[in-house]
Amino acid sequence: MIVVTGSVTARPDSFDEVRRLSLEHVHRSRAEPGCISHAVHIDCENPLRLVFFRAMG
């Protein structure tokens, strides 16, 4: 299994758009061959930071 993580920090004025695009990306990735899991989370310490987790096998 391969685990890939990453993050992006949005500006306050663009957070909603970044969140929307991030969810679209996650949903597309879940349909790709070999994708076990893909999720995006909001960082508890920095609510403008989105953290990605993807597992591939």
- Residue pLDDT, tens place only, 2-55: 999 999 999 999 999 999 999 999 999 999 999 999 999 999 999 999 999 999
Give pLDDT, residue 46: 98
- Predicted pLDDT at 45: 98
Q: What is the pLDDT of residue 12?
A: 98
Residue 10 burial (C-beta neighbours within 10 Å; 0-12, 13-18, 19+):
middle
Beta partners for 1? none
DSSP assignment of 1-57 equals -EEEEEEEE--GGGHHHHHHHHHHHHHHHHTSTTEEEEEEEE-SS-TTEEEEEEEE-
Domain hosting residue 25, numbered range:
2-56
Q: What is the tally of structural domains in the chain?
A: 1
- The CATH number for 26's domain is 3.30.70.100
The predicted structure's pLDDT at residue 41: 98
Please give the pLDDT value at position 34.
96
The reported pTM is 0.89
